[in-house]
Amino acid sequence: MNAFSNLHGRTSEGLVLETRRGMIKAGMAGLAGLTLPDLLRHRAAAASQGQKTKTGKSIILLWMAGGPSHIDTFDPKPLRPYENRGPFSVIDTKLPGIQICEHLPKHAAMMDKLTLVRSIDCRKSNHEPNMVMQTGHRGSAPRVNPKGRTYPSFGSVVGKMHGSNKAGMPPYVAFMRSRSHLAFAGHLGKRYDPFLANKAAKLPIYDLVGKDTGRRSGADIFRLPLGLNHDRIDDRCGLLQQLDNMRSDLDLNGSMNALDGFTRQAVEMLVGQRAHQAFDLEREPKAIRERYGKHLWCQQTLLARRLVQAGAAFVTLDLSYHTASGTWDTHGDKFPPYGGIKSGLTPLLPLFDHLMTTLVTDLEQQGMIDDTLVLAMGEFGRTPKIGTQGSVDGRNHWPRISQLLLAGGGYRHGQVIGASERDGGHIKERPVTPGDLAATILRHFDIPQDTTYLDPRGRPHYVVQEGGKPLRELT
């Protein structure tokens, strides 16, 4: 992500000053920025026309890369034969008649604050890269559509249409384990790609199987290049303003003055303290840090709360150790490093149980739960029959049905939406499409349901596909 890409650092401008200005723009374009002058211009223009831009709303997406088994987590089939129900027992939840996996006791105790969708229609979804369930568009799977990568992610759409909630913060942030695990901005342009947060915080570094290496990342992104300090950046901004002022008599509508102001704001997002402090876990009370725990994913979850608290609008956590298909891709014991259902999920589920419920509780205590919508999902479910690909302990990909867990956002919870057939292989009632998910996300940010974006040829594309509608049960 480059906050100064709008300066077109490699494109010369003007008549007399083009070389000097081009040099300055190139220097500015090389800075690692945190948001966009274009977004600031958009908001200013909207305000001048009497339009309100909704702020304060945010989403945290817990992305379970690899495709978590719905049958072995939140949609168990305890009365079915072993090859269908799998190795885990079930426990009752706070919702009468609703049971989930035995390894999710904290979720069971909190089901009155959650919404579980058991009928996600995830047909055509795949991974490496993960696209359909992060874009809301079935045609976005690059494995079958060469143009699949052109569809923008939900976070990128929010970044463009809504922006950050506070100046000095990137609108869309992602903790990424592998590029193939995330959808990016596509046709919206690289400026709306996620701000990749892995190097913005001091975090433990895990290997491909989830072992702590003992090393830590160094928050390098906030370290300015040798010889470039905040004063020098400010000097460059001042010189840029002086050069533009020399041409201001040619600007009849005042846009040049606005450009100066918005560019300066973009620079201040780099040299300012809001984002830097948001990524600094040492500023969090020790008791809260200990509540989340020392695991990498738990610390990233705490950072996600801090980021939306500081003004980010959309934060995605790539919950995977492995950089290939994802840690939740539990094909079986013969397929390391993911393992099978019992060997793979037994260590993962208590960890997820803790981080998700801790986040929801923390958002409540911070007074943020009504503004922050938490989503947890993967790209598809797993096969109804256990023991696949020569393994006795795994399940294959199953894009006919998946699940979605929601919390917060000021919505009505304590419910289960939809249902699967007896063996969990197909949707029985209330199918929820990727388009419905897109519509729900747009509604959360008060972005119009008929919102479109343009491809490079100027053709409009709807964000909401298949006639998608916001989940009516939430309101």
Indicate the pairing of strand 402-408 with strand 372-377: antiparallel
Residue 6 lies in a domain: no
Task: Give the pLDDT score at 274.
Answer: 85
Q: Is the pLDDT of residue 272 over 90?
A: no
* DSSP state letter for 99: E
Q: Is the pLDDT of residue 29 over 60?
A: no
Task: Give the pLDDT score at 339.
Answer: 94
Mean pLDDT (whole number) for 398-403: 97
Residue 83 lies in a domain: yes
More confident residue, 217 or 207: 207
Residue 332 lies in a domain: yes
DSSP string, 178-232: -GGGS---GGG-GGGS-EE-TTSS--EEE-TTS-EEEEE---GGGSPPTT--HHH
Residue 433 lies in a domain: yes
Considering only CA atoms, which of 158, 157, 193 is closest in space to residue 174? 193
CATH value at residue 125: 3.40.720
278 close to 309: Cβ distance less than 8 angstroms: yes
Strand partners, 382: 397
| Cα–Cα distance for residue pair 400/371, rounded to 1 Å | 32
Mean pLDDT (whole number) for 388-415: 96
The range of the structural domain enclosing residue 119 comes to 56-220+273-474
Q: Is the pLDDT of residue 256 over 90?
A: no
Task: Give the pLDDT score at 52.
Answer: 52
Residue 469 lies in a domain: yes
Residue 66 lies in a domain: yes
Mean residue pLDDT of the chain comes to 85
Residue 187 lies in a domain: yes
Helix (H/G/I), strand (E/B), else coil: 53: coil
Mean pLDDT (whole number) for 203-217: 95
Domain count, the chain: 1
Task: Give the pLDDT score at 207.
Answer: 96
Residue 339 lies in a domain: yes
The answer for residues whose C-beta is within 8 angstroms of residue 384's C-beta and 6 or more apart is 71, 84, 398, 423, 424, 425
Mean pLDDT (whole number) for 281-296: 97
More confident residue, 268 or 276: 276
